[in-house]
Amino acid sequence: MRFPELLRRVNEIDGLKRLRFMTSHPKDLSHELVMAMAECDKVCEHIHLPVQSGSNRILELMNRRYTREHYLELVDDLRKNVKGIELTTDIIVGFPTETEEDLEDTLSLVREVGYSAAYSFAYSVREGTKAAAMDGQIPEAVKKDRLMRLNSVIMESANGANDKYMGLEGEILIEGRDMRAEPMMFGKLPSLKMVYVKGDESMIGKYCKVRVTGTRFNSLAGEIID
């Protein structure tokens, strides 16, 4: 059984309300899977699609088996067919021989895709890998600077993507309580966007209807509605 068919079969199980799946390698994201996400009402409108780099040269060195252009075609397919889809990703900067031009390719891809969140890393040597033995290792100070620049673009992209949620009404699953500053309960929309609302711990594990009223860093603020 192929994964898209598995999603469709699990989607039919009584008692399930939300269905998520873990990281999808871009080489495995087929149009068939995109359409299964679009047509299964329990599959959440979110996918974690690691890109690692926006530079075709670096992607080839990483043996990622896709190009920047192919990755963007996948993003376009998702956006055209899965209403309200949000994308998250993994990105590495400072891979051996990475140039400023390679970094700019990555930054421009982040801006073009508009991720709602990203896990970003500076490359670190792992003994026994081909990359560890490559010439052109990037100095730590340069890797740190590039990571800071990447994170700034990621944050800008994520904050910009929050604007479309203002006034939206939806349902969150309350996961816990945040005790920083004013205590707030928090839970995720199907798109994986976190929403903070006033409440108490009796709400944990329950679904609540909310209206989005503002933003909190890369998350959202809201109020509970009937």
Residue 69 is part of a domain; what is its CATH number? Answer: 3.80.30.20
Helices (H), 40-187: 56-61, 68-81, 100-113, 140-161
Collect the ranges in the chain with pLDDT lower than 50: none
The pLDDT value given to residue 131: 93
The pLDDT value given to residue 153: 96
Q: What is the extent of the structural domain holding 149?
A: 3-161
104 and 29 in one domain? yes
Counting the structural domains of the chain, the total is 2
- SS3 for 29? coil
177 and 196 in one domain? yes
40 and 68 in one domain? yes
CA atoms within 13 Å, Cβ hemisphere of 63: 3
The pLDDT value given to residue 179: 79
* Domain boundary pick from 111, 144, 161: 161
Residue 7 parent element (H or E) = helix 3-11
138 and 38 in one domain? yes
154 and 51 in one domain? yes
Q: Which two tokens stand for residue 55?
A: 């530079």
156 and 61 in one domain? yes
202 and 187 in one domain? yes
170 and 157 in one domain? no
The pLDDT value given to residue 61: 96
The pLDDT value given to residue 183: 82
Question: Residues 210, 222: contact at Cβ < 8 Å?
Answer: yes
204 and 149 in one domain? no
Kindly report the number of other CB atoms within 10 A of residue 74's CB atom: 22
58 and 137 in one domain? yes
pTM for the model: 0.91
199 and 140 in one domain? no
Question: Residues 75, 38: contact at Cβ < 8 Å?
Answer: no
Q: b/e string for 89-115 if b means 16 or more Cβ within 10 A?
A: bebbbbbbebeeebbebbbebbeebeb
- SS3 for 143? helix
* Dist. CA 20–CA 31, nearest whole Å: 18
145 and 115 in one domain? yes
